Every structure is written in C-alpha cells, then in structure tokens.
Amino acid sequence: MLNNFTTAGIYFLQIAGELVALFIGITFLVGLLQEYVPQDKIQRFLTRAPKGIGNIIGAGFGSLTPFCSCSTIPILVGLLNTGVPFGICMSFLLASPLLNPVIFVLLLALLGWKITILYAIFTFAASVISGLILEKLGFAQYVKSVTVVGGNTNDPSTVSIKGDSFWERHKPRIKRAGGFAWTLFKHIAVYLIIGAAIGSVIYGFIPEEWIVNIAGPDNLFAIPIAAVIGVPLYIRAETIIPISAVLLEKGMAVGTVVALIIGGAGMSIPEISLIAAIFKKKLVGVFIATIFAVAVLTGFLANALTM
C-alpha cells in the first residue's frame, strides 16, 4: 500500500509539472496570435468566404479559440449576427471544444503524436463536413434570435503602439499575451490539479487487468459507452486528458480514450446548456447526435489504425 502511495505521488508531481508548463506556454502563444490576428478581421472574412473554404477557415478559427463554452458561445452569436453563413458557424462550433490548442498540446505530450494526429484529422474533417451537411439540410431555421450586448471593445489592432525599436512596438502585445496566459492559468489551475490527482490515483491503485477487461480493444461496446460516460466525467480538457493518459497506459484501447475525450468535450453539460439558449430543441438534438457519431466513428477508426 505504501508503495502505491509513493507511485501515485511521484506520478502526480511529474504530470502536474508538465501540465503547468505546457498550459502556460501554449496559452501565451495563443495570446500572441490573438494580438496580431484580431477576431473581427476573421469575422469579416468569413462573411465573404465561399462554402467549403469558409468551413475550413471556420473550423480553423474554432481550433484557435480559447478555451471553453463560456467564450465559444458568445463568439458564435457574434458570427451569426454579423452574417457569417450558418454552416461555417457550425464548423466553428464543432471544432472549438474538440481541437483547441490546449487539447492538441496536451494530447501530443501525454498520448503521443500518432494519436494526436489521428484525433486532429478526424475531428477537423468532421467539423468541416458536418457544417456543410447541416446547412444543406436547412437546420439554420432552428437558430433562435439572440444578440450579444456589450462585448470586447478593446480590439488589440486599434491600440496605438508607439516607438521605433522592436521591443517598443511589440512590448504591449507581449505583455497582454503574458497576462492572458497567467489569468487563464489561474482560472483553470484547480481543474488541472484535479485531473492530475485523479490520474495519479488510477495510476497507483487501479489494476491494469480491470481496465483491460472493461475498456480494452476486445470490447466493442466500450467506445459508444465511453462517448456517453465522457459527458458527466468531463470538467475541462486539463482534467480529462491526464486521466485519459493513465487509462491508456493501463490498457484502455486508443479508440475508447479518443471517444471519451470527444464525447466529454463536445457534449459537456455546460456546453449543451449554453447551446440550448441559442438553438431550438431539434438543432440541439442534432448537435448532440453529431458529436456522439463523431466520437464513435473516430474511436473505431483510431482502433483500426493503431492495432
């Protein structure tokens, strides 16, 4: 028993340290990107983008938008209100929780490049294709009339930057990016610690045989079940991904882990609650079904390509 506690404690310190460094680093880089590529310019471009290309750009925009439904939904409403086509908005909405930079980097660090590339390709393609299909089927009629009051009026591109040297011209943006990273880290630190703690307990105390029997590659029902279980289990990416890394190491099939992450990130309770405020019930149901289908399909494809 003492050995189990020691193993769990060492794992906790290791994984928590890695997650802190990765999170602060990647959010700082995203903050810099947002300083130099303002959201309003992307919105204006998306209103004129042709179908297909616009969906790809919309999914890419969603992939770079931090980092939770509280920021995704207001941006989505802004896109809809500025005339961005419905299908492009849906590609943005689907990609945003599934493939933001934090998820991508944590997946890369904890699960390896093969799983990360599979995850990125499948979720990005699903976001683009689903947006095109939903618009083609006429689901735009199920969007409620919603308006965002207020909003961010401090567009970095409008801030006057004086000085001749490189540092004088870029220092304000670098400082804002650093402040963005630190503020966001303080907001999610507790979730990161929870995820690392739960993962360390699983690592130290749960037998591998138990995980393999329930969610190993031989259990065909493990993937759809994981897609559903991910919903109540998901708090934030910083919580679920370290847990998933341990489950994978303990013998859970790759596809089951991927389905767990997609199902949880895409159908989390806060996400669906906010979506229900702007979508009618039929579109909410279709959105949930789309995420579930993406989770299950990606899970089975991941298993097939990694076995």
Residue 267's φ and ψ, nearest 5 degrees, are: -120, 25
pLDDT digits (tens, 9 = 90+) for 131-159: 999 999 999 999 987 554 444 444 444 44
Number of folded domains that form the chain: 1
Structure tokens at 114: 């093969």
Phi/psi of residue 235, each to 5°?
-110, -60
pLDDT of residue 243: 76
Measure the CA angle with vertex 177, ends 174 and 265; round to 5°: 155
Q: What pLDDT digit, counting tens, does each position of 202-238 carry?
A: 666 665 566 556 656 667 788 888 888 777 666 566 6
Cα within 13 Å of Cα(101), Cβ side: 18
Residue 67: the pLDDT is: 55
User: pLDDT grade, residue 90 (50/70/90)?
Assistant: very high
User: What's the whole-number mean pLDDT along residues 184-190?
Assistant: 74
Considering the domain boundaries, does residue 145 fall inside one? no
Residue 68's pLDDT is 59
pLDDT band at 2 (very low <50, low <70, confident <90, very high): low
**Is 252 a member of any domain?**
yes
DSSP result, 163-219 = -SSHHHHHHHHHHHHHHHHHHHHHHHHHHHHHHHHHHHHHHHHS-HHHHHHHHSTT-
Helix, strand, coil share of the chain (percent; to 5): 80, 0, 20
Give the highest mean pLDDT range of 19-33, 53-67, 154-168, 225-239.
Answer: 53-67
Q: Is 257 exposed, middle or buried (0-12, 13-18, 19+ CB in 10 A)?
A: buried
Residue 175 lies in a domain: yes
Is 0.85 topped by the overall pTM? no
Give the domain extent around 125.
Answer: 2-140+150-306
CA 305 to chain centre: 23
Mean pLDDT, the chain, rounded, equals 77
Interatomic CA distance for residues 197 and 1, integer angstroms: 17
